[in-house]
Amino acid sequence: MSRRTDRSRHTDRSRRTDQLHLNAFLKPPGEYLAAWRHPDTAADAGVNIREVLSFARTAEQAAFDAVFLADLVGVPFASEDVLSRVSVVNDSFEPTTLLAALAARTSRIGLIATASTSYNEPYQVARTFASIDHISGGRAGWNVVTSLNDGEAQNFGLDAHLDHATRYDRAEKFYDTVTGLWDSSDIAPPPQGHPVIVQAGASEAGKNLASRIADVIFSGIRDLAKAQEFYAEIKERTAAHGRDPDHLKVLPALSVITAPTEAEARDKLARLTELLPPQVALADLSYWLGGFDLSPYPLDGPLPELPVSNQSHTAQQQIYEDARRDNLTIRDLVRRVADDDRTITGTPQQIADHIEEWFHGRAADGFNVVFPYLPGTLDDFAELVIPELRRRGLFRTHYTGSTLREHLGLPGPSVAPGHVPAPYKEETS
């Protein structure tokens, strides 16, 4: 047997027969901080229900598993000058309110919203997501977050954000209480039993929580080898919790700009990134480093040694790793933020190759697709990339189930018999 046959056999054996799960990360008017300045976006899209509904419908027509609404419960930047130049929390709907509106005006797509375990109470979260699960006929999902910054804490009467260990401990108990309420007779049992649980922790405590409770884990990992390592670790941890590893779907973030030719795609990216004011790029870098003010440090010097962030350990570590590996100054790092180096830019075939490599390489069960500006990058993904994925047999042509659990190929929760009535099914007339 030739080496070549060996290799192709290995490839064949490792090819997957299941299909991708795609989540549409909706952050109108786009994930890129200057998206609101783009001529093809509506600057007020974050608080414009017609715009948001149209994005959700495009994602539904393309048969995405779900739309996802992220949330911070406070603005990420202290500077009024910076805040006046961005469209973030200051300019977007509260996500569970928006989810209820989308639930009533879509019919198939899953609907995931973020709710913090640090700044809510379990009864209220259990009731809200049970209601949305009813309104949507079993399409609700809850992104369980512990929140990130001091500004969020201050909106809830605290001086500073809970420390990392305390907030994860609270998240563990919070989840148990919410699911306990769903399993009890205190709250009308949600149609899915439990709405789908999403988590995005990447620290030790975060991975532990996700592998115990989550149906879906989001990550921000960009490097294939690291994503494969993370995937294997999460699946092992899930099995160690006595769960079927296939019942936790790993969906890394994938920011995409695509066009029929590579040059056109690059041009689209360039026309977006020229819109970002430099002070916003610097503020964004400071935010992801944990809110430390970088302005006293020389732009052409190295990143100073900063205390470990109480915000996102993972984001801070990633920036340090990049800076050390590539010997970057603060100015270089700011340029990377401005250039949006996280976005994969290319033809639909190149994007599909990337997706296929990660999917068959067991780095991902699918992707949390991020749109730098809306609707342009969503429309392009739906019109150009989705058909290419379908041609390759990687993505569904239409929905076969009606609930988000069915789209994701997940079972219902294992609850004590008798606790939950038979799952709700929408009546057909």
Ligand X SMILES: Cc1cc2nc3c(=O)[nH]c(=O)nc-3n(C[C@H](O)[C@H](O)[C@H](O)COP(=O)(O)O)c2cc1C
Q: Interaction with ligand X in 169-198: which residues (CB under 6 A)?
A: none
Figure out which of the listed residues 90, 134, 135, 220 binds ligand X, where binding follows CB under 6 A.
220
Please report, as residue ranges, which positions from 245 to 264 form the binding site for ligand X (by CB under 6 A). 253
Q: Residue from 87, 192, 219, 318 that binds ligand X (CB under 6 A)?
A: 219
72 contacts ligand X (rule: CB under 6 A): yes
Residue whose CB is nearest to ligand X in the complex, by number: 206
114 counts as binding ligand X under rule CB under 6 A: yes
Residue (70 or 272) nearer to ligand X, CB: 70
Contact characters 304-333, ligand X, x per CB under 6 A? --------xxx-------------------
- Regarding 59 and contact with ligand X (CB under 6 A), the answer is no
- Candidates 56-64, 100-108, 145-153, 255-263 — which segment interacts with ligand X by CB under 6 A? 145-153
* C-alpha dist (Å) from residue 368 to 60, 70, 96, 138, 161: 15, 12, 19, 20, 27
Question: How many residues bind ligand X, per CB under 6 A?
Answer: 22
Based on the shown chain and the rule CB under 6 A, indicate whether residue 201 belongs to the binding site for ligand X. Answer: yes
CB 236, CB 371: distance < 8 Å:
no
Residue 358 near residue 252, CB atoms below 8 Å: yes
70 lies in the binding site for ligand X (CB under 6 A): yes
Torsion of CA 42, 46, 51, 54, to 10 degrees: 130
Which is nearer to ligand X, 216 or 385 (by Cβ)?
216
Q: What's CA 101's distance to the chain center, in Å? A: 20
DSSP state at residue 195? P
Cα separations in angstroms, 334 against 98, 200, 284, 313: 33, 25, 8, 19
Is the Cβ of residue 264 or residue 322 nearer to ligand X in the bound state?
Answer: 322
Give the rounded distance of the alpha carbon of 184 from its chain centre.
30
- What the block records as the tokens of 218 is 């989001």
What the block records as the tokens of 214 is 């989550």
Q: How far apart are CA 24 and CA 395, in angstroms?
A: 14
Site residues, ligand X (CB under 6 A)? 70-72, 114, 143, 145-148, 200-203, 206, 218-220, 253, 312-314, 368
